[in-house]
Each structure stands twice: as C-alpha cells, then as structure tokens.
Amino acid sequence: MGVGGKVMDIQTVLSDLKLNGKVIPVVGGDVNQTYRIKTEHRAYFLKIHPNVKKGFFEAEVDGLKELSAFVRVPDTYMLGETSEGAYLLMEWIEPGKGDQRDLAAALANLHQQTAPQFGFRKDNYLGTLVQKNSFEEDWWTFFFKDRLESQISLAEETNRWNVQRQEKYLRFKERVLKSVEPKKITPRLLHGDLWSGNVFFDQQGHPVFVDPAVSYGNREQDIAMSQLFGGFRPEFLDAYQTIFPLEKGWKDRLPIYQLYYLLAHLNMFGESYGSQVDQLLENF
C-alpha cells in the first residue's frame, strides 16, 4: 500500500505499459505497491507509488546503475507516471537460497569502490524521504549536514522535533566529534539502506541488492544499518571482517550511523520511533 493509505490503480499502469499478464501482489515493503506480472513469455517486477513524479524512481534507477558494475542488481526496463503517481518496471528475479558469506564478499567488493569526495552526483531517496548528497571533502561535515541535520529539519516541519531533542542532539554531536580520531576516511560506494529486506539470493545463489540509497560515504554506515533491525546471520559480519576488516573501534561508532536511520523512521512512520531516537542521543 502506498504511504498514507492511497492505492494506485494498477490497471491504469498496465495500460500505460501496454502489458498484459497475471498480476500477483508482492508483500514485504513499506514504501511502494509491488507486483509480479507474469506474461506469456516472462515475469516482471512492477513498483508503483502514488502522488509522486517519475523522478522518484529515476533516482532508484540511477542508484542501481551505480551499483551494477560491482554487485548483482535487477535490470530496469521502463519508468513513467500517470495522473495518480509513478511506476517502475523491472526484472523479476526468482528468489533462492544462498550463503551469507557470499553476501559479505559482494558488499566488501562494493565498498572497495572509492571516490574523491563524499556525497553523490544528485540527491536521491531513503524510502520516501529526500536524501541530500552535496559533495564534501570531510566525512563528518557531510554526515552531520546531509544525513542527520537534513532529517532533523524534516522532523521539525512535522512537529516531531522539540527543544529537548535538539539539546540532546547538540550534546550528542559534541561527544561524537570529541570521540572520533582525526584520521582520513575514504569515500566508499554505499548501498545506503542495507536492511535484510533489501538483499536476497537468486536461484543460482548469487546475492542481489535492491532499493538502494546510494552515496559515497563511510562504509561503517552500511554495516550499522545491517545490524540495526536484524536479519543478517553472524557469519555475514564475520566473513566481511575477514575479507575487508573494519577500522579499530567500529562497534562503538555504529550507533552514530544508526541514528540516521532511526531519524528517517521517525519521519516516515511517526513517534513510535521517538523513544529509540531519544535513547540513542542520551546513551552514546
């Protein structure tokens, strides 16, 4: 179901695509209406979202293209919009079983890709929220401005941020900047929304990455998201550490990056995430 409960008419989208086939709803996501479309010759994956322009999905396609040279992602075929919203037609990849160690190897390969600066060539989306991506030389400048404080601004607009939270945040920011070592951090290619629902295995056991929020950043951010909501087996992180060991103290820094995702959940889903935000701000 689309955000806010509105549902787009899938028949309008299929007509726009000139596509006929059996329509099977796919469950599991919180952002888009999703369907498997089985035609005479092949199956497709269709995502539709109400009340947005096609730029919403153009950002996703751009992110998938950025990842595609290094990890397995679905092919994208067509995107467009109707009077109700936007849609994206993609390759249907039949899920299978795989080894979390192969997933770790794929992620490590992704993180080996570097850039001169933090950020990305354009803003994109984390879920339904705009993700800012201005270029910065300094990681902490980028992270606080384009990640945490952009989400705080959204929370202020919807009265989900108050004076008490702002005071906690400023103390949190001060503690972070005092605790991190003044060493150079390399901008690395990130998936950006690495929870367990955004990775799976195909029938050949290859890891598949979907729904990215791509940027070049600190790879600890991807690791932090992978550990926030569960779903990854212990051997995933063990294998990643063997292939591409994280910097000393990485476990202590994970809550810094997890705050970004908790703020985004506060903005998308409401005050049910407020207590987790408060606890993290107070306890780091």
Q: Is the pLDDT of residue 2 over 60?
A: no
Residues 236 and 116 reside in one and the same domain: yes
Single residue among 63, 92, 121 that ends a domain in this structure? 92
Q: Name the 3-class secondary structure at 239.
A: helix
Residues 182 and 117 reside in one and the same domain: yes
Single residue among 72, 92, 112 that ends a domain in this structure? 92
Residues 48 and 25 reside in one and the same domain: yes
251 Cβ neighbours under 8 A, 6+ residues apart: none
* Distance separating the N- and C-terminal Cα atoms of the chain: 36
Residues 219 and 82 reside in one and the same domain: no
Residues 40 and 160 reside in one and the same domain: no
Residues 172 and 54 reside in one and the same domain: no
Mean pLDDT confidence for 102-109: 99
In percent, the amount of the chain with pLDDT more than 70 equals 98
Category of 273 on φ-ψ map: left (φ > 0), alpha (ψ -120 to 50) or beta: alpha
Mean pLDDT confidence for 112-138: 98
Residues 213 and 278 reside in one and the same domain: yes
Q: Is the pLDDT of residue 30 over 60?
A: yes
The per-residue pLDDT for 183 is 81
Q: How far apart are CA 215 and CA 220, in angstroms?
A: 13
pLDDT band with cut points at 50, 70 and 90 for residue 3: very low
Mean pLDDT confidence for 177-184: 88
Residues 10 and 134 reside in one and the same domain: no
Residues 123 and 208 reside in one and the same domain: yes
Decide if 237 contacts 104 (C-beta within 8 A): yes
Catalytically active residues are 193
Residues 13 and 102 reside in one and the same domain: no
What is the DSSP secondary-structure string of 15-47?
HHHT--SEEEE----SSSEEEEEE-SS-EEEEE
pLDDT band with cut points at 50, 70 and 90 for residue 125: very high
Residue 40 has φ and ψ, to the nearest 5°, of -65, -30
CATH number, position 57: 3.30.200.20
Total count of domains within the chain: 2
Single residue among 70, 92, 114 that ends a domain in this structure? 92
Residues 143 and 239 reside in one and the same domain: yes
CATH number, position 140: 3.90.1200.10
The string of pLDDT tens digits covering residues 70-82 is: 999 999 999 999 9
Q: Is the pLDDT of residue 138 over 70?
A: yes
pLDDT band with cut points at 50, 70 and 90 for residue 5: low
Show the domain range for 240.
Answer: 96-283
Q: How far apart are CA 198 and CA 181, in angstroms?
A: 32
Q: How far apart are CA 257 and CA 153, in angstroms?
A: 17
Residues 156 and 252 reside in one and the same domain: yes
